[in-house]
Each structure stands twice: as C-alpha cells, then as structure tokens.
Amino acid sequence: MITNFRNWSIFNFRLQHVHGSLENSPDGYSVYPGFVRVGLNINSLVGMEGRQSTLQLAFEPFVNSINGKKAGVETGCSLGIRYFYTISRSVDLFTEGSIAPMFLGIDTIEQGESGFNFLDQIGGGLQYKLFKIALFAGYRFRHISNARFVNRPNEGINSNALIGGFSWLF
C-alpha cells in the first residue's frame, strides 16, 4: 500500500530546552538540541484512512549540546510515532513517543563512561496550522538508559523538555 506523499510534514526548525539533574550530583545539566523531524502520515497503513485524526511515523536525527559541570554531546536518531487529535480545523492536540539509539558524550555515575545508550521520550502538545505552516508547543519526558546492553552502570537519567517551533506541511 502506498501512502500519499502530500501527508509528509517536515519539522526543520525547533526550539527546545531540556533540564535535568543527575541523582548523585547536585549540579543540573541543560541540553540544547539541534535536530530535524520528518513525519509521514501512516493512517492508510494502520486502517485509519478517512479519519480527521492523524498517526505519523517520525524520524528525528539529532545532535544535542550538553552544558553543566561537564560538557558533552548527545547524538543519535530516533524513531517514533505522533498522534494528532483534531480539535478544530486549525488546532490539533498531539501525543508522541520515540526511542533512539544514541551516544552520550559525558561520564556519569548513573551511566558510567560515555558511550552507547538509548533515549526514550514521551510527551504531548498543541499544533496550530496556518496554511502550509504549523506552529507547535509541547512537553517531553526523556529517559536515557543503556538497557544493560553494555557492561556499565544503568541507573538511568531522567529529564524534562519544553519544545516549540514550526513545521512545513506537504
């Protein structure tokens, strides 16, 4: 089954601020992300064609700067879904979840030495459509874990993110 390409939406500008604390450190860390989000309407693939709500398959390659007592980088590519619930012609609520294999570039007590991890995210927000552009704002809960795939500590790192930006709708 072929999905109509008019349903692509590319999020190529996003503001996001992430803040979290490590359990064994009183210092907070801030993350300043840089990424592009590409979403594809998959309603026809999951039996939702003809509905006002939309289910998107999303890809988000990212390179995030970590600032705090230690500086470093997070980099990877997430795969996830975003569900848009239409409230009115131009307003949608959305909920989303994703997982990303990633590299965490700082050593922490929670994760041990820098290296391979996973970034799990879940969140929600609001999108306001203006012609072929949409403005959006939302929240994400983030969890970094190595899922015990590597021989290091795995206490996990949790953080909160505020997101906002605009997207081009195709």
Residues 14-25 pLDDT 10s: 555 566 655 555
Domain residue ranges of the chain, discontinuous segments joined by +? 5-169
- The CA angle 29-31-37, to the nearest 5 degrees, is 155
In sequence order, the 6+-apart residues with CB closer than 8 A to the CB of 46 are 55
Residues 17-65 pLDDT 10s: 566 655 555 567 788 877 788 999 999 999 998 888 999 999 999 998 8
Q: Does 2.40.160.20 match the CATH number of domain 5-169?
A: yes
CA distance 170 to 116: 35
The residue-averaged pLDDT of 140-165 equals 88
Residue 6 has pLDDT above 90, yes or no: no
User: 154 or 104: which carries more pLDDT confidence?
Assistant: 104
The residues pairing with 117 across neighbouring beta strands, listed in sequence order, are 102
pTM comes to: 0.83
Q: Where are the alpha helices (DSSP H) in 8-164?
A: none
SS3 call for 131: coil
What does the pLDDT read at residue 5?
Answer: 35
